[in-house]
Structure 1
Amino acid sequence: MALNPITRRALALTLRQISLQQTAAASSVSKIGSREVVGFGFNGTPCYVDRVDFPMPGVRFKENTPDIQALREKEKGDWNKLTLEEKKALYRASFCQTFSEMKAPTGEWKSVLGLSLIAASLAIWVYMWMKLFVYSPIPDTLSPEKQEAQLKRIIALKMNPVQGISSEWDYSKGEWK
């Protein structure tokens, strides 16, 4: 069966992409060293990550040594024959931390709180400096006497008498409604 040139070219490009993806995957696995790839891994990558929400990394933590290899062979048999130290050594060969070690408090909150307080203090000092040297003084039109005079002028001119402040003034009695 003969393929037309367009189909042949699309098939060739697809095969080339698959080949490149396999090469990239093989090269990333070869960078692991002598550690054993044991699963899918976090996001499908063969890497080691200690995470509580993703407890099964794609590779073992330590590289295979003759001691660990001997324990792995012994592990295939009866686990009752393994000592507690051997079980711990097998665990530490596969994982760096236990769940309790991952969940243990690190004291990081102290540095975060300290830096936050320093930043807040710095912001207050910048505000005070700007208040003294950058901002102009408050205009005298914001004094209570000037504001009262402005309110009287608004009422006298009957500005916005439908919905504004002048609508709340009773002009016949000369007081607020």
Structure 2
Amino acid sequence: MNTLRVARTLQPRGLASSQMVARAASTTAHTSAASSVIPVSNIEAQWETLNSKEQTEVYEQLLEAQKRDWKTLSIDEKKAAYYISFGPHGPRKPVDEPGSGLKVFGLTMAIVGAAGVAFAGMRSFGGEPPKTMTKEWQEASNELAREEKQNPLTGITSEGYKGKGHVA
């Protein structure tokens, strides 16, 4: 009798169809079985504050709701089902918190600066460059390459070569 009243309120005109009575019976049975039903509106804001038992209850509640026709689901139920399935929580929670890009950039610049200081220190205490890095040695290497006809296709002894050869 109570189920029929609920079905009549859902369908204002005419008699309640058997489908409406069955749907109303399932919703009243479900709400009486789960006395502590958690509202699914704005589940995105509530999800992290719920304990695991409440999260499981909401999940099961939405599983049962999704077994019905999707046209009968409310917008809040559809949004909650999507958030629980694909939302940024649990293993899909972002690793970096907002604003961490500036921190990463600052640390990267500090490491590059430390590497520059280390490079300058090594250059200042490194001593004289080797004798093979002098301009005279490199020009002598070019003459030797021409005498021995090194790399005749594209190198210093090729026709029309206009490069510097071994001179840096």
Higher helix share goes to which structure?
2
Tell me the TM-score range normalised by the shorter chain: 0.3 to 0.5
